[in-house]
Structure 1
Amino acid sequence: MLNLLVTLPPALVLALVFLLPALESSTFLGLLVPGELAVLVGGVLAHEHRLSLWAVIGAAVAGAALGDQIGYLVGRRYGHRLLARTPRRFVRSGELRRALELVRRRGAVAVVLGRWAAALRALVPGLAGMSGIPRRAFTVANVLGGALWAVTVAVLGYLAGASYRLLERRLGWGGEALLVLVVLLVAVRVVRSRRATAREREAAGGHP
């Protein structure tokens, strides 16, 4: 994918710098193709003076913010319908409900942190919409997180130049590490919740 993007005309790469981040959460494309690939290559082309670095950053910020805003609105309006079509074993397990509660509790922090892992980028905006996070709070966190992410990835691509392949792998490792951390935090929360429920049931059983 990286080799293909580097050989494309600069104008087309700039369009992809906008489109891939925009489609990550609005269409869940981020589960398959992370938008940072296009932003990274855009930074490399800026290093080669084939694109303006500011144009790359602007396109990435706009795409990231617009895509996540659409994902938020879709989750807010249709999220529960989508959940109704989720396999029953996932709904009965309570994992989706706990994930929604986590996003609701962390709010803007979850939105900003979710920007740094491809899987979270695709899912957090919709979950934020379903969890009831106010639109204004989400928009501020969305723009802030998208801007930090876009500037960081584009500038790293610019600085890396010909070493972009190694940088892409390291970014991927960082995103995977963050995803593992989030999963562990959710798992700890689930275990604590189940233990608390078990203690409450034992207490209720011991007092008629």
Structure 2
Amino acid sequence: MSDPSDLLLDTLSRYAGWSGPIIGLLAFFESLVLIGLFVPAIATMIAVGGLIGAGIIHPAPVFACAIIGAILGDWVSYALGRRIGPPIYRHRWLKGQRLAFARARLFFRRHGFMSVLIGRFLGPVRSTVPVVAGVVKMPPRLFQTANILSAMLWAPALLLPGYFAGGKLAQFDLQAEHLMLIAIGLCVVPMLLGWIALRIASKPRLRPSRARAV
């Protein structure tokens, strides 16, 4: 295996019983600020869907753990932002992410609740929007509502394309490397969904006077 994602898929194929917890951890770290910027979760999750479609791993624990991991990851990022406040933008571990935070702050200022709901699908802001929501003290119940709904949309959006492709292609006896290549091609699906959701969310806007300063 020449790639960490390929290694992960091979591990899941060999130890299918651990697939749920492993994917839960992947979803958790993908949602965490800083770490999430470097975790290649989209292609990997789609490829995992391919393993489900091929009958190699069971779907129920993977879907459940992916949703739970995604919820917890965003919740931790939100809690960090809420506890540390604006100084988190200047933290020494996050100095290289100032542009990502600037984008997330602008995105949150414009879209509020919807930024948390659809931000998970948008690479440049996916792990930084929860931090911004915490910094500006977005009500926890409101954040968690968006967070849970987002995770429940995110996991199927990434797993189902690979699931359907894997079911069709299982007859060709594909290896993990081949599923990974297919997954990279299917990455456009969740990105397109995120773009469509963003366009829909952008139509009815709150009045500027009501926008909170970030």
| TM-score, normalising length: structure 1 | 0.70
The answer (yes or no) to whether the contact 1:14–1:56 under 8 Å persists in 2 is yes
Counterpart Cα distance in 2 of 1:96 and 1:23: 18
Instruction: State the match for 2:212 in structure 1.
Output: none
Q: Report runs of 4+ in structure 1 exceeding 3 Å deviation.
A: 84-88, 95-99, 172-179
Contact 2:28 2:70 in 1 (8 A): yes
When residues 98 and 145 of structure 1 are mapped into structure 2, their CA distance, relative to the original with a 3 A threshold, is closer
Q: Does the 8 Å contact 2:44/2:183 carry over to 1?
A: no
Of 50, 54, 59 in structure 2, the residue corresponding to residue 44 of structure 1 is 50
1:147 to 148, 152, 159: 152
Considering only CA atoms, is the larger Rg found in Structure 1 or Structure 2? 1
Structure 2 residue runs of 5 or longer lacking an equivalent are 170-177, 199-214
Aligned to 1:106: 111
Tell me how many residue pairs correspond in the alignment: 177
Q: Does 1:116 align with 2:116?
A: no
Query: 1:121 Cα shift?
Result: 1.7
Aligned with residue 137 of structure 1, among 124, 139, 142: 142
Give the conservation status (yes or no) of the 8 Å contact 1:116–1:175: yes
Distance in 2, Cα, partners of 1:177 & 1:6: 25
- For residues 16-165 of structure 1, the aligned pairs below 5 Å read 16-85=22-91, 99-100=104-105, 102-161=107-166, 162=169, 164=179, 165=181
Once superposed, what is the RMSD of the aligned Cα atoms? 3.2
The 3-state SS of whatever aligns with 1:122 is coil
Contact persistence 1:39–1:56 (CA under 8 A): no
Taking the aligned partners of 1:66 and 1:29, their CA distance within structure 2 comes to 14
Structure 1: 5+ residue stretches without partners: 183-208
Alignment TM-score, normalising by the size of structure 2: 0.69
Answer 1 or 2: higher relative contact order, Cα 8 Å, separation at least 6: 2
